[in-house]
Amino acid sequence: MKYNILLPVFLLFSVISTAQLKKAPAYPLITHDPYFSIWSFADDLTSGSTKHWTGADQPLTGWVVVDKQFFRIMGKGNKGQEDSLSQGFATENLPPVAVAKQTDVTVTATRTIYRYTCGGVNVQLQFTSPLLLNNWAVLTRPVSYITVTLQSNDGKEHDAEVILGVSTNVAVNKPDQEVKAEKLVTADGLQVLKAGTTTQPVLQKRGDDLRIDWGYMYIAAPKGSNVYQYIANADTEFPVVIKPLPDQQTGTNFILRTSSRIKTNSKPQEQFLMLGYDDVYSIQYFKKNLPPVWRAEGRTIEKELAKAAADYKSVMQQCIAFDQKLYADAKNAGGEKYAQLCVAAYRQSIAAHKIVKDPQGELLFLSKENYSNGSINTVDVTYPSAPLYLLYNPELLKGMLTGIFYYSESGKFTKPFAAHDLGTYPLANGQTYGEDMPVEESGNMIILTAAIAKAEKNANYAKKHWKALSTWVQFLSRDGFDPANQLCTDDFAGHLARNTNLSVKAIVGIGCYAMLADMLKEKDTAAKYRAMAKDMAAKWMQMADDGDHYALTFSDKNTWSQKYNLAWDKILGLNLFPAEVYEKEIKYYLTKQNTYGLPLDSRKTYTKSDWIVWTATLANNAADFDALINPVYTYLTETPTRVPLSDWHETTNAKQVGFQARSVVGGYFMKMLEGKW
């Protein structure tokens, strides 16, 4: 069978600085939320199956046919898959499939771009998840683009075909779940493949190592693109229900394919597909099922796909401009290696959240504590993530705090300190973590509310929640300075009494409350808590003093720890601690570094990379900042653990200790935030 296929051609090129990120532990391809998140865990896109961030196979596959020669550009491939290629190709005898030579991979904030040589044609394969924090409609649209650009490299014209496949594993938790697929043409003329489980168990599971198995995935080609869409290995018409027999080599469900033909010449020929997901309901919030925010705003998936197609050129231009500005701003703030850390963190941090609205229409931006314990809206995950959102969209940080405020203000959480979490993702029905972190979470909530006030230049959000903030600051004033034996955000390190860094958090939290009171013209309250915080800081310096540095606890001398909580004292301009405290600590830290970073404290050699960036922000010169940041960059590019960036690693060998794909890498933007403020 013959197909005369020509997709619209846009001569749109992404000018990519060679300084953008070239090496990562894993490469983001499709990144929207904790369930719609597909990555390549290898440097070469043809060396293995693409995966959900948890490591479960969610294969994306791709081939380019140049003058009847097949080249695989994506996915590991196997004989069964590649034998089925002839379904969409006008040839009786399928020629052998060659693996395309990948010549380059580049990661920017919103895009991942691969380049190949396929005989006489150069191929660029670009994945764009346009998570533009400055464009609400695009940020909240659950659609990514896959763009293929072909260009002759030998001056000749070539017949070329692009075949892209997406496994229905994207819509299941386990590959043995039954899936229904259908083919449709929307009212806007899009050609669409749609698939989802037949059972649709909406919001029936909670936990960490899970994929979504409700809602529907969509593969859409723009209007006017005469493409051929089919199911690999399925000789049947749509709609079709298949109880899959998982492929033994890849564990894949069936593959939905889109095939298109094009004549190539010396001018680049570009075509794109869209991959979208409609989860119908995203989060259960105190027993009420909430739709994704775009549905709550009256949009439909068909309209979102149509708008994504219509806006393609504009969105690409915005992404290119955003990527270049982010990189330039990060480089200006902290240098080339720092900028590449920010690029690595950007999509990962955002995609570890889901955006919904509560029943009153308030925005909620809820994190999933990926490969940590699966909690939803964990306060001590919000805290390190915050700098990215303070920089680009403080409304999203409010969306990380609002649910926690509601939990206390509604009387559902009755303790005199802030809760740890709202449940286990995706069920936000109340705290499920087994132990409170009273000083940690109360300090976090007050500090971040003050940071919002700084970003917005008013304390309106604080005023709305003043009663809860006042309850929490009273708790900190009683129990914060010399903390009892309890967990802090570094709970993996175990319980610790008299934790000096946790004490800093309480002191800074009290200082932040004073700052907010001052902004709200409550002068007496501001003076009271400002004096309290200053007195505590002076006392802290005496009690924590350990000669050339400050100790891990008030009790244990000859110990040390990163005092990353001091970063807010500096960037909010609270001036509770004198600069000599920062300088003494930084000088000491520089004597304690290992090849892949500064350990968290004197107990172990592992570290948290987000905290290193906060600690480095205390440095008063670029040389000291670079000295602390460069080993983290070395970790990023040399870690042997191939998973979406882990924030908890070993400083001696760069191996992941735990955690991956978490939102906390948004904390890498702390240095940029300092520069802005």
Rounded CA-CA distance 554/576 in Å is 19
The greatest distance separating any two alpha carbons of the chain, rounded to the nearest whole angstrom, comes to 86
Rounded CA-CA distance 123/103 in Å is 10
Write phi, then psi, for 567 (nearest 5 degrees).
-55, -40
Per the CB < 8 A criterion, the answer to whether 389 and 332 are in contact is no
- The H or E element containing residue 594 is none
Three-state SS string across 134-170, please? CCHHHHCCCEEEEEEEEEECCCCCEEEEEEEEEEHHH
Q: Higher pLDDT residue, 3 or 602?
A: 602
Write phi, then psi, for 51 (nearest 5 degrees).
-140, 155
pLDDT at position 14: 42
Per the CB < 8 A criterion, the answer to whether 235 and 66 are in contact is no
**Assigned token pair, 598:** 């500064």
Rounded CA-CA distance 255/490 in Å is 42
Q: What is the mean pLDDT of residues 13-18?
A: 44
Three-state SS string across 345-409, please? HHHHHHHCEEEEECCCCCEEEEEECCCCCCEECCHHHHHHHHHHHHHHCHHHHHHHHHHHHHHHH
| Percentage of the chain modeled with pLDDT above 90 | 86
Q: 27-280 and 323-676 share one CATH topology? A: no
Rounded CA-CA distance 171/179 in Å is 8
Cβ neighbours of residue 114 under 8 Å, at least 6 residues apart? 45, 73, 74, 102, 104, 105, 124, 125, 126
Q: Which of 51-55, 87-91, 100-104, 375-379 has the lowest mean pLDDT?
A: 87-91
Q: What is the mean pLDDT of residues 425-444?
A: 97
Identify the residue whose tokens are 């570009």: 270
pLDDT at position 233: 59
pLDDT for 251 beyond 80: no
pLDDT at position 227: 84
Strand spans (E) along 67-110:
69-74, 97-99, 101-107
Task: Report residue 4's pLDDT band, with 50, 70 and 90 as the boundaries.
Answer: very low
Q: Which is it for strands 121-128 and 143-152: parallel, antiparallel or unpaired?
A: antiparallel
**Assigned token pair, 114:** 């691969």
pLDDT at position 245: 56
Q: What is the mean pLDDT of residues 288-308?
A: 98
Per the CB < 8 A criterion, the answer to whether 499 and 525 are in contact is no
CATH number of 27-280: 2.70.98
Helical ranges in 393-499 per DSSP H: 394-409, 438-456, 460-464, 466-479
Per the CB < 8 A criterion, the answer to whether 254 and 172 are in contact is no
Three-state SS string across 218-241, please? EEEECCCCCCEEEECCCCCCCCEE
Cis bond upstream, residue 8 (ω within 30): no
What integer best gives the mean pLDDT of the chain? Answer: 92
Rounded CA-CA distance 64/232 in Å is 16
pLDDT for 658 beyond 70: yes
The predicted model scores a pTM of 0.95
Identify the residue whose tokens are 């898959």: 81
Q: What is the mean pLDDT of residues 70-74?
A: 96
pLDDT for 258 beyond 60: yes
pLDDT at position 485: 93
The predicted-structure confidence for 121-143, as pLDDT tens digits, reads as follows: 999 999 999 999 999 999 999 99
User: What region, left, alpha or beta, does residue 613 occupy, with left being phi > 0 and alpha being psi -120 to 50 degrees?
Assistant: alpha
Rounded CA-CA distance 258/256 in Å is 7
Q: Nearest CA to 429 among 412, 405, 409?
A: 412
- The H or E element containing residue 51 is strand 51-52
pLDDT at position 256: 76
pLDDT for 240 beyond 70: yes
Q: What is the mean pLDDT of residues 628-652?
A: 98
Domain extents in the chain: 27-280, 323-676
Question: 324 burial class (0-12, 13-18, 19+ CB within 10 angstroms)?
Answer: middle
Rounded CA-CA distance 331/407 in Å is 40
pLDDT for 278 beyond 90: yes
Rg (CA), the chain: 26
Identify the residue whose tokens are 């409700």: 214
Rounded CA-CA distance 276/292 in Å is 13
Write phi, then psi, for 56 (nearest 5 degrees).
-75, 140
The predicted-structure confidence for 313-359, as pLDDT tens digits, reads as follows: 999 999 999 999 999 999 999 999 999 999 999 999 999 999 999 99
pLDDT for 17 beyond 80: no
* 344: DSSP letter: H
Task: Report residue 93's pLDDT band, with 50, 70 and 90 as the boundaries.
Answer: low
Computed from CA positions of residues 550, 555, 556, 557, in that sequence, does the dihedral angle turn out positive or negative? Answer: positive
pLDDT at position 264: 85
Per the CB < 8 A criterion, the answer to whether 597 and 610 are in contact is no
Q: What is the mean pLDDT of residues 389-413?
A: 98
- The H or E element containing residue 530 is helix 523-543
pLDDT at position 7: 32
CA angle 550, 552, 556 (to 5 degrees): 95
* Number of residues that make up the chain: 677
Distances (CA, A) of 601 to 490, 526, 559, 669: 11, 34, 8, 22
Task: Report residue 15's pLDDT band, with 50, 70 and 90 as the boundaries.
Answer: very low
pLDDT at position 86: 62
pLDDT for 115 beyond 70: yes
Q: Nearest CA to 569 among 394, 451, 400, 470?
A: 451
- The H or E element containing residue 570 is helix 566-571
Rounded CA-CA distance 169/57 in Å is 7
Q: What is the mean pLDDT of residues 283-309?
A: 98
Q: Which of 249-258, 293-302, 426-435, 572-581 has the lowest mean pLDDT?
A: 249-258
Per the CB < 8 A criterion, the answer to whether 500 and 558 are in contact is no
Q: What is the mean pLDDT of residues 491-503?
A: 94
Computed from CA positions of residues 33, 35, 36, 42, in that sequence, does the dihedral angle turn out positive or negative? Answer: positive
Identify the residue whose tokens are 């963190």: 345
Q: What is the mean pLDDT of residues 14-26?
A: 75
Topology of the domain comprising 323-676: Glycosyltransferase (1.50.10)
**Assigned token pair, 676:** 């802005």
Cβ neighbours of residue 382 under 8 Å, at least 6 residues apart? 367, 397, 400, 401, 444, 448
pLDDT for 248 beyond 50: no
Per the CB < 8 A criterion, the answer to whether 639 and 655 are in contact is yes
Using CA atoms of 511, 535, 548, 648 in order, give the dihedral in degrees to the nearest 10. Answer: -30
| Percentage of the chain modeled with pLDDT above 70 | 92
Judged by DSSP in three states, 179 sits in: strand
pLDDT for 90 beyond 90: no
Q: What is the mean pLDDT of residues 185-202?
A: 94
pLDDT at position 78: 72
How many CB atoms lie under 10 A from the CB of residue 163?
Answer: 24
